Structure 1
């Protein structure tokens, strides 16, 4: 009997002949495109939801931090510390007053977190395709830790462009204006209109250099802290149970996220202090007419030293522990339980 080497064909109910190998080939070819769009959607949706939850957790602490940072230097300090600021803010504005202006930060949190995760993965893919092609061919191999730090820094620089205008409005909302007739609290539309009227379109990026420094270095520390803790936990887990699955349990994800948040906020905190001062105060009063990032930084250093640059740092690092822990954990869990696309 002679065996044919021709492709196997299958007869469907309609009488049409098909080659099953051709079907597999076409599906394989179209899969990467679908996979890329699916991953992008996951990053945007999961990152946005994680960022919104994290912002609700941290916002009261962020309000206190901004008010501490933006105290004028030509007047006696209004607050002696975080607890004093929190008590006075509660007494003056009530509980919901501490959440005043949260609408802009919620948008900012969704934009920031989704941009960070999306660009972080995208830059990793680019590095795998160019600098580390061996990682693509070997799924078990991962990018070196130094490359992950670079990816984190690049994603932070990208995100800062979207973040500065949102943070500018947020900071102006969080700090009430003291006038001769009392305290004035302008709304978001009036703040946006005022910025454009006085500074034009580029005015929305006032403080961009500070945001760029903070986000570039801070995101390297944020992702670096998380990835570093993940590697440590994986080694620990593998040593305890060599054949256990590679994914981390919830409590380890929370711990890794908490370390990431502390790293992000502490290392580049002075840049955030300078940025907040630039966005909430008449800079010319404290710099003699120069409104540059360096001039504001030198003025704060001259008046208060290193302590002035780290004013409000304790409460910021404290708020980042639960916030960042939940951001990473929610993001990872949402992606893990993302519904698989139905087959055609």
Structure 2
């Protein structure tokens, strides 16, 4: 039986504070641990493609471009640094993947409970619109944690200087702090916010929509994310297809925001005349390269996102059902 807390205000009658259900804390712990493991797994799969994506996105405004496309970027990168060079700077992203996915799954579940208690009936599953809102809230919260991590990642993924100096993550962090202070770590926050808010709504929404389609024809299966794990999850191949659809939805629709963010976080401040705003960088890119410039590297990003998200959702749901 749970103990109840009492708080006395000005020596008056104690005010009873209802206890937090223990099950909620356990579920939150599972979301954090299982989401972290799933995120790290997905990051190892996708990271070389992410490095190529950032290098394509961060090319200077002036022509000719350094890379003709993803394959050319792969070829030049491997020739210059070897295959290991494509994993350069992975320490920050591995930490970021753990933070991102644990935060997404944790805040997604919390957002659903808040909407059910404040907007919808707690006795009924959330409608699809409620799941989209929960995904957007989850992404907005996660963006605050991600921007500093992605700033360090992007700065380490761009090609090294002519002198061949390769600063590590601690050197990069120290440099950002020395030149821009604490707030400098949130340079590009607007891009991350737009990408994560809309992208997470698309990520969870795509997964829920495809899972719902499969559940119509698999009445004994149940998705573990929204409503618990009292029934077996979808078969593995269906989970992976739903996860792949989520990865495509997340990356395609809000890709321009990610392109602008990457350019902001990798540009040379001395050459650009100071930290430019999200809208300034976006306007300049649009004027110089149009829609094609905003979607440069999108193909390889969507291509790596499908298997990565498939593994993330499958690992997460598998851990929740078989371990949790």
Q: Structure 1 length normalisation: TM-score?
A: 0.83
Separation (CA, whole Å) in 1 of partners of 2:130 and 2:80: 48
Following superposition, the deviation at residue 290 of structure 1 comes to: 6.8
In the TM superposition, what whole-angstrom CA distance separates every residue of 1:141-160 from its partner, at most 9, and x where no partner exists?
31000010000000000000
The residue aligned with 1:65 is: 53
Q: Are 1:279 and 2:262 matched, yes or no?
A: no
| Contact 1:283 1:296 survives alignment (8 Å) | no
Cα deviation, 1:224-263, whole Å, max 9, x if unaligned, reads 00001111111122499xxxx6631111000000000000
Structure 2: distance between partners of 1:270 and 1:234:
33
- The number of residues matched between the two structures is 302
Deviation (angstroms), 1:132: 1.5
In structure 1, how many angstroms separate the alpha carbons of the residues matched to 2:111 and 2:55? Answer: 36
Aligned to 2:103: 115
With over 3 angstroms needed to count, the CA separation of the structure-2 counterparts of 1:102 and 1:278, relative to structure 1, is same
8 Å Cα contact 2:34-2:102 kept in structure 1: yes
Greater radius of gyration (CA): 1
Describe how 1:1-344 pairs up with structure 2 within 5 A: 26=1, 33-133=21-121, 136-137=122-123, 141-179=124-162, 182-238=163-219, 247-282=233-268, 285=271, 291-339=276-324
Q: Which stretch has the larger CA shift, 124-133 or 216-225?
A: 124-133
Deviation at 1:177, TM superposition (A): 3.6
Matched-pair contact (CA < 8 Å) for 1:234–1:246: no
SS in 1 for 2:161: strand
Indicate the residue corresponding to 2:13 in structure 1. Answer: none
| Pair 110,208 (structure 1): closer, same or farther in 2 beyond 3 Å | same
Shift of 1:75: 4.6
Measured after TM superposition, the shift of residue 297 of structure 1 is 0.4
In structure 2, what is the Cα distance between the partners aligned to 1:258 and 1:222?
10
Q: What's the RMSD between the two structures over aligned residues?
A: 2.1
Q: Deviations over 1:11-69 (max 9, x none)?
A: xxxxxxxxxxxxxxx47x99972211110110000000000000000000000000000
Contact 1:176 1:184 in 2 (8 A): no
Distance in 1 of aligned mates of 2:64 and 2:161 = 14
Q: Give, in whole Å, the separation in 2 of the partners of 1:289 and 1:298.
A: 16
* Contact 2:233–2:321 (Cα < 8 Å) also in 1: no
Structure 1 unaligned segments of length 5 or more: list them.
1-25, 340-344
Partners of 2:120 and 2:248 lie apart in 1 by 30
Structure 2 alignment gaps of length 5 or more? 5-17, 222-230
Give the distance between the partners of 1:271 and 1:330, measured in 2 at CA. Answer: 28
- Report the Cα distance in structure 2 between the residues aligned to 1:104 and 1:121, rounded to whole angstroms: 26
- Alpha carbons of 1:66 and 1:167: their partners in 2 closer, same or farther (altered >3 Å)? same
Q: Distance in 2 between matches of 1:292 and 1:100?
A: 27
For residues 283 and 232 of structure 1, the distance between their equivalents in structure 2, rounded to whole angstroms, comes to 48
Q: Is the 8 A contact 1:300 1:309 kept in 2?
A: yes
Deviation at 1:178, TM superposition (A): 2.9
Residue 131 of structure 1, CA deviation: 1.1
Change (3 A) 1:250 1:45: same
CA distance in 2, matches of 1:283, 1:100: 22
Partners of 2:182 and 2:131 in 1: how far apart?
34
